Amino acid sequence: MYPVLKGKQFIVYTFSNKIAGVIYSLDKLLDMKTDKELNDGKRPKRLIKNNYALVTIKVDEKICLEKFENNKSMGRIALRDGDQTVGSGVVTTLLG
């Protein structure tokens, strides 16, 4: 398994969509149990297996998504590269 880097392209799977997307930015490395920020506020350069982070993903087209707190099923995503799931998570913020 290779690291996840800014600019890496993936297929983003959502509630009913499968669309190309790219890691736009790696924002924060977080502690999985407490959600507290690690790395003294520095942005991570890469994510490796078992990292828990806040990332910004840019998709190629507009899709229907909701924040996880508003609709659990429409607020989940998975990132895949070929036949391998690289990451999964929830939508916390939607950007226009």
53-86 pLDDT, tens digit each: 999 999 999 999 999 999 999 999 999 999 999 9
Q: Look up the pTM and report it.
A: 0.88
Domain ranges of the chain: 4-90
Residues 31, 52: contact at Cβ < 8 Å? yes
pLDDT value of residue 1: 62
Give the type of residue at 21.
G
Question: Could you tell me whether strands 76-81 and 84-90 are parallel, antiparallel, or unpaired per DSSP bridges?
Answer: antiparallel
Homologous superfamily of 4-90: Translation factors (2.40.30.10)
7-55 pLDDT, tens digit each: 999 999 998 899 999 999 999 999 999 989 998 878 999 999 999 999 9
